[in-house]
Amino acid sequence: MEKDKKQKKVDLSQLSDLDFAPNWDNKYIAGEKQKDRFKPQRQEHQREFKRKKKEIPKRYDSPFANKFKITVNPDKTILDTLKRGIRKSGISYSLEEINSAIIDKKNRLQITIEHLKEETFFITTFDNSVFYTKSNAINHIVEKGLKHVVDITETIGENPSGNFKNILKCPESGILLPPKSFHDFEAIIKTHLIEKKIKLNYNNYLNKLITVEDEITINEWKNTPLKKLIFTTRELGSTKRSFNSIEAVQGYISSTETNQFIKTNKVIKIKGDSIDNFEKDLAGFISDFLKNSYQWKKDLFFNTLINFKKSGFYIFKYGPKNYLFAAGQKPKTIEITKISENCVKIVKYIQKTEPIKIISILSQSGEMKLEKNQILVELKWLVKEGYVKEFSDGTIVC
């Protein structure tokens, strides 16, 4: 029982780091004011759910509507940590408190998104980003992961020849570029976008190019050799291939049927804080679902309840509104002959005045002729053995 004295209670409202470290004796000896947390918390959540249910917009006008099934469950690691902590503390927690603690942080959620039709997601192997179309996945590889596909070398070509009334200038790098009529113009521009890591698509970038008509500047550009990039595949041995354009590299990625660059899957499972792994529009759709849907929170509550039952937790109702609670130990019938004399004193006082707060029990240490530390040790043992129940707000009942 001396060991039990040093254990802290599980503070579900401060679960940011899942810290179940003990604070039991210090909290109550110090006389800290206790608050009824689970009752107003449940009432507040119920009001919030009802309000949101009325306010939910008919926002299934998204292009992704009716194409996916999204389910949300507690992350298994988080749930197992919660259960271990609750068992260790001996405290009975309301299912509302447990559910709210899980929902409070996205990394405590396990999100599953599944295609409803015979289609698949496309996952880039270099960073596990998820895309709705293969073309979007290829574009992502070219923009962010090209070095994982090809080695890039720079070569110097010939000086541009011909009469030019104007040329173009990159608004971001200041580099001079050929006019739109120049041969290989598109390939040069797309290569420039990759080389300078400019986050604009080809058409949008063209609209931002600056036209230069100054003859001196044009002659300066004409006297500068054109640069070219060579893209060489990274296969081992003599099977390497070289390409002169981004389009050719895209075609190579697309034609590679293995999982070398892109994997496919009908179902994706991620933690709630990894939604950004999805392409932007799809990530927005999932975020809107989490924000606006009430049903997934209701399902999460019942999934958590079932999980706790299957794990051997004692589930019971308590309070004027019969809230559901979970305890790590089943209640035991008090037999005076099987508990210590000090425990008998404490139990009799609880039975006479229950429900009662731990602070109130400690205030009777003089009447019971027990030190506060003794009361805490015995009380903790009674809780862990199941002879009495302790709730997260410090209430004790037999």
Q: What is the 3-state secondary structure (H, E, C) of 212-258?
A: ECCHHHHHHHHCCCCEEEEEEECCCCCCCCEECCHHHHHHHHHHCCC
Residue 336, classed as helix, strand or coil, is helix
Q: How many CB atoms are closer than 10 A to CB 396?
A: 22
Per-residue model confidence (pLDDT) at position 375: 95
pLDDT at 1: 45
Summarised one tens digit per residue, pLDDT across range 336-376 is: 888 999 999 999 999 998 899 999 999 999 999 999 999 99
Domain with CATH 1.10.10.10 in the chain: 331-397
**Single-letter code of the amino acid located at 348:** K
CA distance 46 to 245: 59
Nearest 5 degrees, angle CA 309-CA 323-CA 111? 55
Residue 381, classified by CB atoms within 10 Å of its CB into exposed (0-12), middle (13-18) or buried (19+), is buried
**Dist. CA 147–CA 216, nearest whole Å:** 37
Average pLDDT over residues 371-384: 94
Q: Please name the fold of domain 331-397.
A: Arc Repressor Mutant, subunit A (1.10.10)
- Residues β-bridged to residue 123: 130, 263
Question: In the chain, where does DSSP find H-type helix?
Answer: 2-5, 24-29, 38-55, 76-89, 95-103, 134-144, 185-195, 202-208, 215-222, 246-255, 280-292, 295-310, 341-353, 358-362, 365-368, 372-385
pLDDT tens-digit map of 107-139 = 999 999 999 888 999 999 999 999 999 999 999
184 compared with 93, residue with greater pLDDT? 93
Cα gap 210→198, rounded to integer Å: 15
Tell me the pLDDT tens digit for each residue of 9-30: 555 544 444 443 334 455 565 5
**82 has a pLDDT exceeding 80:** yes
Handedness of CA 174, 177, 180, 186 (dihedral sign): negative
* Residue linked to tokens 């759709």: 285
Q: Cα(71)–Cα(329) distance, rounded to whole angstroms? A: 31
What is the rounded average pLDDT of the residues 52-72?
Answer: 66
| Rounded (10°) angle between helices 38-55 and 95-103 | 60
* pLDDT for residue 214 is more than 80: yes
Q: Which residue type is seen at 31?
A: G
Please say whether the beta carbons of 390 and 383 come within 8 A. Answer: yes
The four Cα atoms 14, 20, 25, 30 give a dihedral, to 10 degrees, of -20
Average of per-residue pLDDT across 176-203: 87
Task: Tell me if 375 sits within 8 A of 362, measured CB to CB.
Answer: yes
Can you say how many angstroms the Cα of residue 269 is from the centroid of all Cα atoms in its chain?
11
Inter-CA distances, 331 with 313, 385, 394, 395, Å: 11, 8, 18, 16
Report the alpha-carbon distance of residue 132 to residue 278 in Å, rounded: 9
> Cα–chain-centroid distance for residue 219?
55
> What single letter denotes the amino acid at residue 134?
K
30-34, 245-249, 388-392 — which is least confidently predicted?
30-34
3-class SS of residue 161 = coil
pLDDT of residue 47: 56
Q: Report the C-alpha dihedral over residues 23, 25, 31, 33, rounded to 10 degrees.
A: 40
* Type of residue numbered 34: Q
| Residue 232 bridge partners (DSSP) | 151, 242
Among the listed residues 309, 281, 293, the one whose alpha carbon sits nearest the alpha carbon of residue 71: 293
Enter the pTM of the model.
Answer: 0.73
> Percentage of the chain with pLDDT > 70?
84
Mean pLDDT over residues 192-206, rounded? 86
- Please, are residues 284 and 3 in contact by the beta-carbon 8 Å criterion? no
Who has greater pLDDT, 34 or 177?
Answer: 177
Place of tokens 């999982």: 259
Cis-peptide into 160, omega within 30 deg: no
